[in-house]
Structures are given as structure tokens and as C-alpha cells.
Structure 1
């Protein structure tokens, strides 16, 4: 056998073995790759799917931080004034920002000494006289704050009758009398008056009738003169500020 013949047989045998290995017995040798086919057409769109079920509400979110305050807007136009409201009830009288005070109280110290007639009775022992509007030497009160004042006299009467007047600028404003009935012990006589006073008006106590001057004082009994401002006259009081 020639060499060429031997080579052809070996070639045929190797092709047969290759076809058996690839399970392809249709031919003795594998052919060359075929030409790629043409691309296929795009498919038609599918039908819309059914709507899904509504989901559950989510949990509330956390509160956010406060935002930055915005700028103040421009002032709006003034509105139409409303109708007047009903008149309210009268309020209580308030306290004055400026306080006007005037008050005094004094008693007699001259034991068994009766005052002279038609002169101011001296109540020379001061009990209260912060504003010094009462003069214990003269026995007279001098008005420094115009207004309404109240004056009162409490007198012990002993061994004689008593008649005294509350005087304003030499004019009797009120008069009081106690008749002595030979009592073995002292008795009392009191009297008071509300007086409207202007600046520099004076008020005092005076005995004016005969010997009816039985104002008495001792270690256990007193005769006193007291006065104080009830309320001031505002219009005139402003002048003193």
C-alpha cells in the first residue's frame, strides 16, 4: 500500500471518529458556520394589567422642625371705625398718686387751771402732729392743704359748767354746753364739726360765755383736741405741688 493511500485512510478514519464523538453521522466532516439569519419582527404590546389593590396608609411621619419666621407684612389700611359701645358702670374711686395728709391730736396738761375767756384754748401736749399744722403754743390749727376736715373736742368737766365753741377765723362754727349740777366727780362733754377749709384758714377751741370754762385735766382724765383731713380740694391742692 502506498503512502498516499495510507494518508487518505487515516484522514477518513479521523473524520469518522469526530462525527461519532459529536453524535453527528450525517457527514464525515463538519461544515463551515452558516450565514446568520435576519432579525425577527418586534412583538405586539401586551394588554394593560389589572389595577392593584390600594395599599394601607403609612404611619404618620415625625414632626418637622419649625420653619424660620417670615418677614412682617406691610401694615394694612385702616378699617372703618366701629359703633360706640354702651356706657360702662362708674368705677370705684382710686387712690391718688400724690397723697395729701394733715392730722393732729393734742391734750391739755394744765391741771386745775381753767382757760381764759375768748382766747384759743391751749392743748399743749402733742399726741400726733407729723405735718406740724397745729401749733401747741397758740392752740390753733392752720390749714396748709385745702379740703374738708373733721375736728372733735373731748373735754373733762369738773366743778363748773362748760361751754366751748369750735372756731374758724374768729367765727363760731359749732357750740357745746354742759351744765354743772354739783356732781362729786368729773363728767365729759364732747363735740365735733366738719369744716371746709382753704389755705391759711385757722381753727381752734374757745370758751366764750361767762365763767363756763370748766375744761379740766388730771393724771387720770384728759381734755383733747383732734383734727384731720377727710379729703383734699384737688383744684386748689395742685397749687401747692
Structure 2
């Protein structure tokens, strides 16, 4: 290779001399011999990678391959049903209680339902057997003597008694001289009219205008027959004693559809009970009692015993009535009537 590098400048200088001489003479020279082959270029494999070429057209599908040879049959496996049963695992611990869920929103109030129709009359029940008579109670001890009551008002004047017998005559005395008879005197003026006490008064009589009143509260009788002194309150259904004394209370009730249990109540205590079992038609019952009341005591009538005993009824043809009135006063104070002159 070094030899060729030395011959290359010599050949180039000889070619230059010949070119100058030919140009001077202006005759074409004889073509020189072809040069030797050049040094081979670098290997292009270390050059930069070219861009990816376009995808070629898909080839034709190949022919299906030949089926392979069937393999040998494997040995049968062990029967899983004859394996021993494993031991039962231990019971897990009890989990912690879950948290309470959030309180739900209250639902809307439903519409008021329509009033149901009057149901069919039920069959009459069988009469129950009479219970055994209870044992006789022991006699209670004698109670302590009560306090002496207030002195009552003066009674009316008694009838004039029979005329008494004539007494024996005394010894006969000497006869005196008879005096002259005097003149008749003038008639005196008429005196003023005396005072007389006012008799205390308290009475009422009221009726029911609705049917099936609420249970365990005073029945509000709003149909007034007599209540001029307003001792009975039609708003609360309660009679309030204004004059201490002995009273008589009575009631007359009508029963329909259901059984009835009513009680006459004094200051929260039931004093008189009345029960009526509905027999299939309009039944009626009544009760009455005498009570001694103090001023401020309260009396009312109420139904009790549950919805099956709430058959108290009233309409324009059938009444339920509650009445009461003063028999006599126990107060020793009587209000006098104003005096009048004649």
C-alpha cells in the first residue's frame, strides 16, 4: 500500500507535464493507461440504521400440518373419595358488635282514614257459669269514735200539746168587791213581716248528643235539660258541689253494638258501677246513688273497660241522661231573705 502511495504523485506529475505540452502544441495526446483500482471503502455495517420499510403484502396461508401421533394413556389417579376426612377447625371468636345505624327520617303523617261502616251484629255469647261463693270474711275491729258533728239548724215548731187537767180547788176565801169593767182598747198597728231562710238549691239534668264517647275520662253531656245554676260544666263534663249536703245522682243509658261499663266517680274514685252486655238490640240500663258531698267535691260519669265496652249510644230517639240534685243541706248557715214592708 505504501508503494502505491509513492507512485501516485509521480504519475500525476507526468500527466500534468504531458497536458501542458499538448496544450502548447494543441494536439490531442495519446490516452494514458487506466489507473489502478482504488483502496476499498469502509464497511457500511457501522453506519446509521435506515428507516423502516413499508409492510409487505400478507403471504398465502400455509398448508395444514399433519396430525400428531396420539400419546399413551396415562395411569389412573387415586380415588379422592377414600381420603381421610380432615379435622374440624376451631370455632372463631365472636366479632365485635356493629355500630348503630343512623336514625331514619320520620315518615310523613298519613291522611285520616274514612269512617268505617257499622259492622254486622255478632252472635250472642253463651252465658257463663256462676262462680263459687267466696269464704266469709272475718269481722273487722270496732273503729274509733268519730268527732262530734256540727250542730244542726233549729227544727220547726212542734204541735200544741193536749190541754192539761184542771187543778184542785184551794180553800174558799172571803169574796172581794167586784170592780167596774173597763173600756175596750183600740186595735194596734200591723207589725212588719218576719224573715224566713232561703232553702239551698242545686240541680242539673243533661243528656248525650253523640255516640261512643272516649273511655276513662268524664263523659261530656252537652244536651242541657236543666242547669240554670251552672253547677254542671258542659265543657269538662264535671259537676262541682257548691253547697255541702246530701245529693241524689241518677243516670239512664242506651247501649248499642258493643257492651257497656260505666261508673259514677267522686273525686277520682269510682263509687257506682253499671255493666250491660249487648243482646242484639238497643239495650238500656240505669243506676242511682245518694252521696254526702262537701263544698268543692266533684262528680262525673265515665266509660271504662276497653273498646269492647264502649257501646254508650244516643240519638234523637234514644237518650243517655245524667242527673243530680240536692236532697238537703248539711251547712248550719242559711241565707235570710231580704225584709219587705207591707
Q: Normalising by structure 2, report the TM-score.
A: 0.40
Q: How far is 1:69 from its partner?
A: 4.2
SS in 2 for 1:225: strand
Matching residue within 254, 273, 293 for 1:156:
254
Work out the CA distance in 2 between the residues paired with 1:151 and 1:67.
67
* Matching of residue 194 in structure 1 with residue 293 in structure 2: no
Greater strand share, 1 or 2? Answer: 1
Q: Residues 1-241 of structure 1 correspond to what in structure 2 (within 5 A)?
A: 69=183, 97-110=197-210, 113-181=211-279, 183=280, 185-211=281-307, 212-235=309-332, 237-238=333-334
* CA spacing shift, 1:162–1:101, aligned 2, 3 Å: same
Higher relative contact order (CA 8 A, sep 6+): 1
Q: Normalising by structure 1, report the TM-score.
A: 0.56
Deviating runs (4+, > 2 A) in structure 1? 66-70
* CA spacing shift, 1:223–1:67, aligned 2, 3 Å: closer
CA contact (8 A) 1:164 1:213 kept: no
User: For 1:58-108, what per-residue CA distance to the aligned partner results, in whole angstroms no more than 9, with x for missing partners?
Assistant: xxxxxxxx98749xxxxxxxxxxxxxxxxxxxxxxxxx7221000000001
Larger radius of gyration: 2
* CA spacing shift, 1:103–1:160, aligned 2, 3 Å: same
Gaps of 5+ in 2: 1-179, 185-195, 338-342
Work out the CA distance in 2 between the residues paired with 1:164 and 1:68.
79
User: For 1:37-69, what per-residue CA distance to the aligned partner results, in whole angstroms no more than 9, with x for missing partners?
Assistant: xxxxxxxxxxxxxxxxxxxxxxxxxxxxx9874
Work out the CA distance in 2 between the residues paired with 1:161 and 1:223.
15
Gaps of 5+ in 1: 1-65, 71-95
CA contact (8 A) 1:135 1:141 kept: yes
CA contact (8 A) 2:243 2:329 kept: yes
Work out the CA distance in 1 between the residues paired with 2:217 and 2:232.
16
CA RMSD of aligned residues (A): 2.4
